[in-house]
Each structure stands twice: as C-alpha cells, then as structure tokens.
Amino acid sequence: MSDASAPSGAFQNRAASAGPTSKTLLETRGLSKNFGGIKAVTGVDFRLGRGELRCLIGPNGAGKSTFFKMLSGQLPPTAGTILFDGSDITGEPPHRIARLGIGIKNQVPSVWDGLSVYEHFFIAAHRRLGARRAAAVADELLTKLGLATLARRDVGALAHGERQWVEIGMTMAQDAKLILLDEPTAGMATDEVERTVALLRPSTSALASSSSSTICSSSA
Ligand SMILES: Nc1ncnc2c1ncn2[C@@H]1O[C@H](COP(=O)(O)OP(=O)(O)OP(=O)(O)O)[C@@H](O)[C@H]1O
Ligand SMILES: [Mg+2]
C-alpha cells in the first residue's frame, strides 16, 4: 500500500495533529513496512477525524492488513510515525495500544468455537468492566447487532456472516475510540454486506458512539 490519502501537508502543522483536543484522532506519517525485500506498505500519510468512517480499498497484497497491524501494534513499522489521540504510539505493544483506545477485528477470524455469542460479548466487555456492567453491555450488543435469538448458540455453529458480526461486536464491546475492521464483509452474501454497512455507517450506526472513529478495509 503506497497510498497517501491524507490531504497534502498532513503533519506539517503539529498544532493540528492528533492531540487530545484536536479534530484529528489518528495520523500516520511516512508509515512503511518491509518484509525483507517486500515493501508491503510504503510512506503512508493518513489522517482520520473523530467520528469519521473511512474504508481502505485495495487488491490482495496491497498492504491493508499490514497497515492495520502497525496501527494496533501487532507489527512494528520499518519507518514512519503513528500519532493517536495526542500520543506517539509508534512501536508500542498491542496491549498498551488497546488500552489507549484502539480496537481491532483482524482479517483472520478469532472467535472461540464452543463458546456462545453472549459469552463472546461478555468476555470482551469484562476486560474493562465488572461482571454486572459487562453483562449489560453484552445484552445491549446482542440487541443492536440483531443477534438476540442467537445469544446462547455456539459460535462454532454459526454462518460465516454471523461469525463476522460476533467479531465486530467484540470490538465494539471494548468501547474503543478507534475501531479497525479488516475485511468485515469478506465472504458475506449481498444482504449480509448491506446489513453490515448499515451497522457501520455513521448516519445509521447503532453500534459506535458518535465520537468513535472507524477504519474498515475491503479488497473488492
Ligand atoms: N508476515 C509477513 N511476512 C512476509 N510477507 C508478508 C507478511 N505479511 C504480509 N506480507 C506481504 O506483504 C504484502 C502485503 O500483505 P497484506 O496482507 O498486508 O495485504 P492485504 O492488502 O491485506 O491483502 P489481502 O486483500 O489479501 O488481505 C503482501 O505481498 C504479503 O505477501
Ligand atoms: Mg488483508
């Protein structure tokens, strides 16, 4: 990925960069990742506002997942800077970045077969909340995602699109300031894609708070 989707001049005005009171939540400057001789991500300048939804679209191998993994601390950048909500988080470990408010749904599914939908949401919410409030958040997510009838169902028995929604819900349960969704609609039927888009679109979203921001990716 060698896109520079931010307006030219990004980062030149530090006063307008990703400080806690600025409208910008996330900013990358010259973000790059090489795997040996493979240049997966090259010099990406990117800026995301608070409450904004952006989608990265690129073909297989364009570097979308690598970009997300750098933002979430799963991969250290080869070069460049990541500013998030007033902090330079470049190279920070995943647990610290998660605590600062970045939640990610990775491209490769990470749900646990054998646990129910409710248990997934409860566990995700329980990372930051006590049991009573986590249970309330789990119930709320079941309703908002339209999964209430599947609450006690083993996630291993769900259809692909439903498993994706479980993962999206787990990311939402973290109440992150920035939500990263790597290919949330991969493998979904058209009606499932439309439902997912409605969940994520700021004007219709029932999921995120109005101040949270989302970056999603798609290879289509
Ligand atoms: N851990 C790794 N080691 C070596 N090369 C890697 C690694 N991860 C990704 N790559 C390479 O980096 C490039 C970008 O891969 P990446 O997975 O970020 O692309 P993508 O846009 O997410 O693709 P897709 O649409 O298939 O998910 C590819 O050439 C890929 O083979
Ligand atoms: Mg990918």
What CATH number does the domain containing 101 carry?
3.40.50.300
The residue whose CA is least distant from atom 26 of ligand 1 is 60
Res 186 pLDDT > 60: yes
Collect residues with CB below 5 Å from ion ligand 2.
64-65, 107
User: 65 C-alpha to center of ligand 1: Å?
Assistant: 7
Percent of the chain whose pLDDT exceeds 90 = 65
- The two most distant CA atoms of the chain are separated, in Å, by 51
- Give the domain range for residue 51: 14-110+174-218
- In a 10 Å sphere around its CB, with 0-12 CB exposed, 13-18 middle and 19+ buried, how is residue 201 labelled? exposed
- Which pLDDT value is given to residue 67? 98
Identify whether 68 is part of a domain: yes
Identify whether 150 is part of a domain: no
Identify whether 125 is part of a domain: no
Pair of tokens at residue 198: 């409605």
Identify whether 178 is part of a domain: yes
Identify whether 132 is part of a domain: no
Using most ligand atoms within 8 A of CB, pick from 38, 182, 219 the residue to mutate for ligand 1: 38
Res 2 pLDDT > 50: no
Which atom of ligand 1 lies at the shortest distance from residue 183's CA? Answer: 27
Per-residue pLDDT of 107-160, as tens digits, reads 987 899 999 999 999 999 998 899 999 999 999 999 988 899 999 999 999 988
Identify whether 31 is part of a domain: yes
Distance in angstroms (rounded) separating the CA atoms of residues 47 and 6: 5
Identify whether 145 is part of a domain: no
Distance in angstroms (rounded) separating the CA atoms of residues 107 and 186: 9
The total domain count for the chain is 1
Enumerate the H helices of the chain as residue ranges.
Answer: 64-71, 94-100, 117-126, 131-144, 160-173, 190-200
Do the bridges between strand 53-57 and strand 213-218 make them parallel or antiparallel, or are there none, so unpaired? parallel
Pocket of ligand 1 (CB under 6 A): 35, 38, 40, 58, 60-66, 107, 219
Percent of the chain whose pLDDT exceeds 70 = 85
Identify whether 142 is part of a domain: no
